[in-house]
Amino acid sequence: MTISEFIRLNKEVLGVNKRNEDFIRPLNPRSAKIIADNKIITKRVLAKVGINSAELYKVVRTRKQLQFLDWDSLPKSFVLKPNQGTGGNGIIVFYGKKKGKYEWIRPNGTTMTKGDIILHIENILDGRFSMGNRRDVAIIEERIKTDSTLKPYTYKGVPDVRVIVFNRIPVMAMLRLPTKRSNGTANLHSGAICVGIDIASGITRAGMYLKKSPIIEDTYTNTDTTLDLENNLPLIGLQIPFWNDILDIAVKSQEVSGLGYLGADIAIDRDKGPLVIEINARPGLGIQVANKIGLKKRLEQVKEIEIKSMKHGIRVAKNLFGGEVEEEIESISGKTVVNLIEKVTLFYKSDTDETVSKKKVERNKEIVKAMLDTGITTSRIDWGIASRLGFYKALDFFKKSNVPDTFPTLKDAQMFIDTIGSETLQHKDILRLAKVSDETGLHVLPVVEIEIRIAGETKKVEMVVSSQKAMIYPLLIGRKELNNYLIDTSKTFTK
């Protein structure tokens, strides 16, 4: 699909003119743009509020300085870039140095000599890569070492996360993966892969790259896997490390820079964690294609919201723009995505005795927090809650049956169930007896059937009635009931 086709077919897409007129011009003052357009100033401003960036090794401002550059002091690996470059142009990454020679190795295996690097720095100073071809400054900085989670997805270069922030709300994000075609740079127009990210979870959605054409319009091409690697990996479902930290840094960068509409590029260093590469006052619009969602609607949704704090802005973003990954996973797997901790509705027994309070019977249900526990087979419920649901007579009957508190072995517990238990513990609400082991010993407990509603589904579930003090939550849903669900462990609570 060409860029113009994508814009024409999707009315929610934000175009360049709309972006410039409605967001960049009115919201990004000149003073803020000066900060964003100058990487050295950006580093200083961010450092004042505790935001880390790559370490700055050297700054070359003039040809005179270049003549006296101490080449022996340069590390084996570093990054050379223009201070006010745009679109990733002019950036060169060096991964190593040839022993005994002034030759540094690039991601594609080619080398650049001292003379080659001098020529490139001179081009930077002449403004070849800067906006308006204005004279520029060359900076030499630390090469970020890729985080171990993202390294298998990357061709030699350093991947980064682009986050669009508006009104202190992170409205859209994507992962940019260097490829062989991009020569190790994480730039869409150089050939990097861009992968949409679900704002709420930090999980990747779908990938695409830009297919350049010298004759007709450039086209976006979808891809479900990485490119150029020996073992290409699927791009959907990757959890971005330090996700909440990345959102914090992006919003904080907007606050300190003074930009009302910002793109923050954040890499994850193997040892240092998230580092800001740069902030952008005119972020590109390809992020919409990576996410297959237009920016226009999202920006309109949040422009009138009064954000009280950074955390409030992030919470709004997760509530408004999260869930796309869950929907995609559900459509592919046929299973519902649920949280580790869910709110579950418990229904009272239909034949609940009149001695249960009239208020409870009329309400007919009780809502509790439940933990989805794949470590147990049968679900468990707190004794007191089971009594309130109408099983108090059955539980009172069980208590009066003189069942031993503990059993020495599983064999002894099973023998009790098979003999004495099967003969004496006959009650219409007790389905069977079950063996349960906890830190206090081995127990035999009653099993009842309770109607519940979880994730919109109503069903009847067998539950062991337990008085375990070790139960953090009053209801544990066992793996017998979890076959049709996928548990998202990154979330631990639902509204």
Q: Of 123, 143, 163, which closes a domain?
A: 143
Give how far the C-alpha of residue 176 lies from the chain's centroid of Cα atoms, to the nearest Å: 14
The model's pTM: 0.66
Amino acid at 470: A
CATH assignment at residue 359: 2.40.70.10
Amino acid at 330: E
Q: Does residue 138 sit in the same domain as residue 242?
A: no
Q: Does residue 411 sit in the same domain as residue 306?
A: no
Q: Does residue 81 sit in the same domain as residue 187?
A: no
Contact 390, 353 (CB under 8 A): yes
Q: Does residue 342 sit in the same domain as residue 243?
A: no
Helical axes 243-257 vs 39-48, angle rounded to 10° = 110
Q: Does residue 318 sit in the same domain as residue 449?
A: no
The set of residues, in sequence order, having a beta carbon less than 8 Å from that of 472 and lying 6+ positions away, is: 371
Q: Of 308, 327, 346, which closes a domain?
A: 327
CATH assignment at residue 223: 3.30.470.20
C-alpha dist (Å) from residue 329 to 204, 215, 269, 324: 11, 38, 29, 9
In a domain, 425, yes or no: yes
Task: Single out the residue of 182, 178, 198 nearest to residue 190, CA to CA.
Answer: 182
Q: Does residue 405 sit in the same domain as residue 427?
A: yes
Q: Does residue 204 sit in the same domain as residue 271?
A: yes
Give how far the C-alpha of residue 100 lies from the chain's centroid of Cα atoms, to the nearest Å: 44
Q: Does residue 302 sit in the same domain as residue 342?
A: no
Contact 268, 147 (CB under 8 A): yes
In a domain, 268, yes or no: yes
Question: How many residues are recorded in the chain?
Answer: 495
Q: Does residue 166 sit in the same domain as residue 19?
A: yes
User: What's residue 358's pLDDT?
Assistant: 46
In a domain, 494, yes or no: no
Edge-first strand listing for the sheet containing 160-166:
219-223, 204-211, 193-197, 169-177, 160-166, 261-269, 273-280
User: What's residue 217's pLDDT?
Assistant: 60
Q: What residues make up the domain containing 126?
A: 55-143
C-alpha dist (Å) from residue 330 to 30, 486, 495: 46, 8, 20
Amino acid at 293: I
Q: Does residue 364 sit in the same domain as residue 449?
A: yes
The span from the CA of 488 to the CA of 495, in Å, is 15
Q: Does residue 194 sit in the same domain as residue 260?
A: yes
Contact 478, 377 (CB under 8 A): yes
Instruction: Find where tokens 């700055």 sit.
Output: 56
The string of DSSP codes covering 218-284 is -EEEEESB-SSSSS--B-TTPBPTTHHHHHHHHHHHHHHHT-SEEEEEEEEETTTEEEEEEEESS--
In a domain, 495, yes or no: no
User: What's residue 456's pLDDT?
Assistant: 83
Contact 313, 32 (CB under 8 A): no
Q: Of 143, 175, 204, which closes a domain?
A: 143
In a domain, 493, yes or no: no
Q: Does residue 162 sit in the same domain as residue 44?
A: yes
In a domain, 96, yes or no: yes
Domains held by the chain: number = 3
Residues of the chain with pLDDT under 70: 1-10, 213-218, 323-335, 351-363, 423-424, 468-470, 488-495
The span from the CA of 211 to the CA of 218, in Å, is 6
In a domain, 370, yes or no: yes
In a domain, 254, yes or no: yes
